[in-house]
């Protein structure tokens, strides 16, 4: 299993290009199932999760080709299977995103239930009840969601909580339903908006995306389209946390600062000096970070996907930062590992109290999930001596060539393949 070896304490310096957003690209690839025509996609990040999504779609009969320039051409002209099997769904929960499109276009789908995962239970009940409201008959048999509907019918759906992939699944399904669907309490994440923008290019009639009320007027069929995936705001935020922890000055390119408001304002509060353009950010850190309090929230609040990275920064800050996780019930697994690097953190339920220490000291730590891995890399970059981050397959799921990009910024980091 690959590990990362980091010799910390080197300020980051230089320029780095941010990749396309994983959580936008995944639903967008699944949207290919909605049409027999090809989609031409740009800025698709080179990630393990994208490879998994393409593998799943291939099993369904979807043809795709990708090149080294982040372009993917994908076509679901002939779909030979309507089943997403357990062995793929268990490795990537986002596989549930094939459910809505398959059901809407083919009237049938079998998708394995994802089961729990490291950061929480993460049920898919809202996806299921939303599709039922659109007229689908759904049963759970042998661990599979089995959904059937001759043609979905538009409905008003109010999800019990804000769910990102739930909103995406229902929005995709509703594009081909008969009549109008209203999604209330919809997710407002930029990734949902990016998917809506692609669907509109494919001929869907959608308004209100980006607000908590999305209206979709169903159409009989969608067609092919060309689309560029938005920049990954979480990858960008992770690099900013890294420079805030190590000191130095970096410039991010191909980034979308307008999707990063909550992260940018917290990092500015922590002492990072920021300058923004429409697609670039420069960030300079000359001082010890100041502790910041964060409470995770749906967009436009502070993203749960940035919680672990800002926690890593708080471990080194002047003062005490209170971090409250409100979205997932078990997303503090990085805490024990940060403590192994010398952090002073106490957890009480959904709250972590992080008392800043003057320095961290390198150690061997274990990554437990994607964003936890990023937080350990950030801590390792700032710690004295060597940090080895084990189980970085988690990191490879969602960060494109992170060690290469960090090396480019002067970090002493290398991948050890064993």
Contact residues for ligand EPU (CB under 6 A)?
23, 26, 93-94, 120-127, 161, 163-166, 191, 304-305, 327-328, 370-371, 398
- Catalytic residue list contains 241: no
Nearer to ligand EPU, 188 or 251 (CB): 188
Q: Determine how many CB atoms are found less than 10 A away from the CB of residue 16.
A: 22
Residue closer to ligand EPU by CB (options 129, 180) is 129
Encoding tokens for residue 416? 């050890």
Cis peptide before 47 (omega within 30 of 0): no
- Give me the least distance between CB of 379 and ligand EPU, in Å please: 18
Kindly state the smallest distance separating residue 400's Cβ from ligand EPU, in Å.
13
Pick the catalytic residue: 30, 75, 117, 241? Answer: 117
Alpha helices, DSSP H, located in 62-98: 86-89
Shortest Å distance, C-beta 166 to ligand EPU:
5
> Is the CB of 65 or the CB of 161 nearer to ligand EPU?
161
Least CB distance from residue 258 to ligand EPU, whole Å? 18
Per the structure block, which two tokens stand in for 351? 């709250």
Q: Does residue 393 contact residue 2 with C-beta atoms inside 8 Å?
A: yes
228 vs 326 by CB, closer to ligand EPU: 326
Question: How many angstroms separate the most distant Cα atoms in the chain?
Answer: 63
Residues 6+ apart with CB under 8 A from 296: 302, 303, 304, 307, 324, 325, 326, 327
For ligand EPU, give the closer residue by CB, 197 or 248: 197
Report the residue number, 53 or 313, with the smaller CB distance to ligand EPU: 53
**Nearest distance in Å: CB 255, ligand EPU:** 17
CA-CA distance, 276 to 270, in Å (whole number)?
17
Closest contact distance (angstroms) between CB of 339 and ligand EPU is 22
Residues 257 and 276: beta-carbon distance below 8 Å: yes
For the bound state, the minimum distance from the C-beta of residue 398 to ligand EPU, rounded and expressed in Å, comes to 5
**Long-range contacts at 327-330 (CB < 8 A, ≥ 24 apart):** 327/296, 327/297, 327/298, 328/119, 328/120, 328/122, 328/304, 329/120, 329/121, 330/118, 330/119, 330/120
Residue 361: what are its φ and ψ, rounded to 5°? Answer: -125, 135
Q: Where are the beta strands (DSSP E) in 43-103?
A: 63-66, 72-75, 83-84
Closest CA to 368 of 401, 398, 387, 390: 390
Q: Give CA angle at 303 (226, 396), nearest 5°.
A: 65
Nearer to ligand EPU, 316 or 395 (CB): 395
Please give the Cα distance from 309 to 227 (Å, whole number): 30
Place of tokens 């590992």: 337
Give which of 89, 228, 93 is closest to 166, Cα–Cα. 93
Q: How far is the CB of 1 from ligand EPU (least distance, A)?
A: 20
- Residue whose structure tokens are 């420069």: 282
Whole-angstrom distance, CA of residue 202 vs CA of residue 39: 9
Euclidean distance between CA atoms 126 and 103, whole angstroms = 16
Please say which residue, 99 or 383, places its beta carbon nearer to ligand EPU: 99
Catalytic residues: 117
């Amino acid at each position: 299993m690959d590990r990362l070896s980091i010799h910390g304490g080197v300020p980051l310096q230089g320029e780095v290009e941010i990749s396309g957003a994983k959580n936008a690209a995944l639903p967008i690839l699944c949207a290919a199932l909605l049409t027999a025509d090809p989609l031409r996609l740009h800025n698709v990040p080179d990630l393990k999760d994208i490879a998994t999504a393409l593998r799943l779609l291939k099993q369904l009969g979807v043809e795709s080709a990708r090149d080294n320039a982040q372009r993917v051409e994908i076509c679901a002209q002939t779909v030979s299977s309507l089943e997403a099997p357990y062995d793929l769904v268990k490795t990537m929960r986002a596989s549930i995103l094939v459910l809505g499109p398959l059901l809407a276009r083919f009237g049938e789908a079998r998708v394995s239930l994802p089961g729990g995962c490291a950061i929480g239970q993460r049920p898919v009940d809202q996806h299921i009840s939303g599709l039922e409201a659109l007229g689908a008959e759904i049963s759970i048999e042998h661990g599979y969601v089995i959904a059937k509907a001759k043609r979905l019918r538009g409905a008003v759906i109010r999800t019990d909580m804000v769910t990102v992939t739930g909103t995406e699944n229902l929005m995709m399904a509703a594009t081909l339903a008969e009549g109008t669907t209203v999604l209330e309490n919809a997710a407002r994440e930029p990734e949902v908006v990016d998917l809506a923008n692609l669907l509109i290019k494919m001929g869907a009639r959608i308004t209100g995306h980006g607000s908590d009320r999305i209206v979709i007027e169903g159409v009989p069929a969608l067609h092919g389209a060309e689309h560029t995936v938005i920049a990954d705001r979480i990858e960008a935020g992770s690099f900013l946390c890294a420079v805030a922890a190590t000191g130095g000055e970096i410039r991010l390119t191909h980034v979308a600062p307008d999707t990063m408001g909550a992260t940018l304002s917290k990092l500015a509060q922590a002492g990072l000096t920021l300058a923004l353009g429409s697609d670039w950010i420069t960030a300079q850190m000359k001082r010890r970070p100041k502790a910041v309090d964060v409470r995770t929230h749906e967009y436009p609040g502070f993203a749960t996907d940035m919680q672990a990275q800002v926690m890593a920064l708080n471990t080194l800050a002047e003062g005490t930062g209170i971090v409250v996780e409100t979205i997932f019930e078990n997303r503090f697994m990085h805490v024990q590992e940060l403590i192994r690097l010398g952090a002073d953190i106490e957890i009480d339920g959904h709250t972590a109290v992080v008392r800043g220490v003057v320095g961290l000291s390198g150690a061997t730590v274990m990554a437990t999930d994607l964003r936890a891995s990023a937080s350990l890399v950030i801590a390792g970059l700032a710690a004295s001596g060597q940090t080895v981050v084990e189980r970085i397959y988690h990191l490879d799921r969602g960060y494109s060539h992170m060690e290469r990009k960090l090396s480019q910024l002067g970090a002493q980091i290398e991948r050890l393949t064993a």
